[in-house]
A and B are shown apart, each in its own frame.
Chain A
């Protein structure tokens, strides 16, 4: 059975009328300005479906009715399976789910604290760590390893992911063939290609360029993935003031148009293809020209888009919980918590790629991943709300009556013992000790506890093993990708 992480609480800024207007503005953009498509088979499919295609420039103008049709075809909920079925998650509705660390290039070394390029070993350790952490529900490729051959890089990375976790996997591919490689690797791991596709054991990120540009490589991946019916994170990452208007409303209209275009392509390839409205919009810090992943505008984007996606009934996916800080410090705590809490309360469906990361999602760390598992647990408690049922209140009134005006405290009431775990969130690494105990421990704080926990898990945790003979098959598929 798929587990529930939490449900959003419908934090909304817009009226229904404004959401309808937003949609119409986006359709207008697609009909007039259009999208630039750099792959001939995609142009052909779009032309046949009724789009106005200019072959010379690659500009495709999309009629609104085609988008409306695609929105009706795209599923509002779908299940993303894991090799370990107990970790399946259902995307959509008000459900909130999480992913681990995503696509960083650097790591902070667990032992010496050095900031250095990430390796395949880092990838394996991070995936194995995340397999054990219950609040990180699915697994994205955490590191683009610096020590692997360039060719077939993501396929080899995927091999490391499959071996180290039973959770649902999210990766990217550089060609349609590489999508097939992923399916073949998983088929070797679970014994059947049908299972891989039916249970949707892997999703692909398909990240297009803003504004409204659809390159060949990602179009190929989108087509292959949609054809197979595997979930697609159709993504653009517009930068307010640089690759999108400085007005946040302008960015949101452009963003919706960009993603509606991708979603429509996927539905043309295969009606009912499972897709996410995925995005990591930012602002440019105009003092220095840097892109900010930790800005408060990030929270606003996700609150607004959660509402739009609910209107579309299409699962939303984004990267709240990110930070521009260069260390796991107070800035990082402020930035990640603010956007995570607001996005989760807004009912954003998949909080992905951010866990453990700093430095604008360029650097990840094992201790950061452990800290974020804790933070996600904290957020999960907030999402669950308070059991305000008459039964609970009645039971509590009785207890108050028993304790008040007696020498007793609530500590020794059975209700306290029996309902403690459901009512209170019990932290794993947060420090709530007295100052003296903290001082006596050698002033060990949150990050020290996180490093200890990471080391303990890496030593003890064993992910679900692969069946006999699977590894040899998988190695051959990786070799095929590396020598193609």
Chain B
């Protein structure tokens, strides 16, 4: 990972999903004078990349991956204030707004997709569950994402995906903004019929889809 022992330690803390150690080691690294970007690239991201590769090879499974992601985020919380102070920006392949549509409180699939997007270098803004259409509009306006992801688990709530697409259009936000959908009952045909830009059949394909839509050169080393 790096010749800096503390960076290797951060990577290991991410691998083992140890939030406490991630926070502590990230603080130590900054105190030792390392640039916040180096702490992210050489420690936190390097660790999560390794987890992603192992996941891709079937050596570790979803819980390890998600715990590692949580640990990495804890480390990031320590580093981000320094980043802001120095007016530095974290590299990102693109910004994705994601949420489960109104009337639907299922979020496991959405969370897995969000994790895989983050793992692959996207910045993810997760609005949670039961998200009204107007919230998607307000946040899309404020955060300027390239992609909005709409999750629905039920054959009833998938109708709300159609509504959100229409409301975004009415708000004049569909210019550069891509909308993708996912969830057990939905399909490519449904995406086409409601005017969405794509359908992610699983986490891996969702990452590929978003990568394709934002024109990222190399999305995705990971698999789902």
* A412 B201 Cβ-Cβ under 8 A: no
Measured in the bound complex, the distance between the Cα atoms of B204 and A411 in whole Å is 18
Stretch at the interface among B23-31, B58-66, B158-166: B58-66
* B17 A434 Cβ-Cβ under 8 A: no
* B202 A412 Cβ-Cβ under 8 A: no
* B188 A412 Cβ-Cβ under 8 A: no
* B67 A407 Cβ-Cβ under 8 A: no
Residues of A within 8 A of B64 (CB): 417
* B17 A417 Cβ-Cβ under 8 A: yes
Measured in the bound complex, the distance between the Cα atoms of B187 and A414 in whole Å is 33
Residues of A within 8 A of B204 (CB): 437
The one of B67, B188, B205 in contact with A417, judged by C-beta atoms closer than 8 angstroms, is B67
* B63 A417 Cβ-Cβ under 8 A: yes
User: Which of A411, A420, A433 has its CB near the most chain B CB atoms (within 10 A)?
Assistant: A411
* B70 A412 Cβ-Cβ under 8 A: yes
Residues 429-459 of A, flagged 1 when their CB comes within 8 A of B and 0 if not, give: 0000111110010000000000000000000
CB distance from B47 to the nearest CB of A (A): 16
* A411 B62 Cβ-Cβ under 8 A: yes
Taking the complex as formed, is A416 at the interface, i.e. its CB lies under 8 A from any CB of chain B? yes
Taking the complex as formed, is A146 at the interface, i.e. its CB lies under 8 A from any CB of chain B? no
Residues of A within 8 A of B61 (CB): 417, 420, 426
* B107 A437 Cβ-Cβ under 8 A: no
How many B residues face the partner with a CB closer than 8 A?
20
On whether A409 and B188 interact (CB within 8 A), knowing A417-B64, A437-B202, A437-B204, the answer reads: no
On whether A407 and B128 interact (CB within 8 A), knowing A417-B17, A420-B61, the answer reads: yes
CB distance from A428 to the nearest CB of B (A): 9
Residues of B within 8 A of A440 (CB): 205
User: Which of A413, A414, A416, A435 has its CB near the most chain B CB atoms (within 10 A)?
Assistant: A416
* Interface SS of chain B: helix
Residues of A within 8 A of B202 (CB): 433-434, 436-437
The A-B contact count (CB < 8 A) is: 42
B100-118 CB contacts (< 8 Å) to partner A: 107-108, 111-112
* B17 A414 Cβ-Cβ under 8 A: yes
* A437 B17 Cβ-Cβ under 8 A: no
B102-139 CB contacts (< 8 Å) to partner A: 107-108, 111-112, 128-129
The one of B70, B107, B112 in contact with A407, judged by C-beta atoms closer than 8 angstroms, is B107
CB distance from A131 to the nearest CB of B (A): 22
Measured in the bound complex, the distance between the Cα atoms of B210 and A75 in whole Å is 65
Residues of A within 8 A of B129 (CB): 407
Measured in the bound complex, the distance between the Cα atoms of B204 and A433 in whole Å is 11
* B111 A409 Cβ-Cβ under 8 A: yes
Name the residue on A nearest B61 (C-beta): A420
Measured in the bound complex, the distance between the Cα atoms of B99 and A407 in whole Å is 13
On whether A420 and B63 interact (CB within 8 A), knowing A407-B107, A437-B201, A437-B204, the answer reads: yes
Residues of A within 8 A of B107 (CB): 407, 409
Residues of B within 8 A of A411 (CB): 62-63, 66, 108, 111-112
* A416 B128 Cβ-Cβ under 8 A: no
A391-413 CB contacts (< 8 Å) to partner B: 407, 409, 411-413
Residues of B within 8 A of A413 (CB): 63
B169-224 CB contacts (< 8 Å) to partner A: 187-188, 201-202, 204-205
Measured in the bound complex, the distance between the Cα atoms of B19 and A176 in whole Å is 68
The one of B66, B108, B111, B201 in contact with A434, judged by C-beta atoms closer than 8 angstroms, is B201
CB distance from B149 to the nearest CB of A (A): 17
Since A420-B63, A426-B61, A433-B202 are in contact, a sample of 16 more A-B pairs with Cβ atoms closer than 8 Å, ordered by chain A residue number, is: A407-B107, A407-B129, A409-B107, A409-B108, A411-B108, A411-B111, A411-B112, A412-B66, A413-B63, A417-B63, A417-B64, A434-B201, A434-B202, A435-B201, A436-B202, A437-B202
Chain A residues with CB under 8 Å of chain B are: 407, 409, 411-414, 416-417, 420, 426, 433-437, 440
Give me 14 A-to-B residue pairs in the complex whose CB atoms sit less than 8 angstroms apart, sorted by A's number: A407-B107, A407-B128, A409-B108, A412-B63, A412-B70, A413-B63, A414-B17, A416-B63, A417-B17, A417-B61, A420-B61, A436-B201, A436-B205, A437-B201
Closest 8 CB pairs of A and B: A436-B201, A417-B63, A416-B63, A434-B201, A412-B66, A409-B108, A434-B202, A417-B64
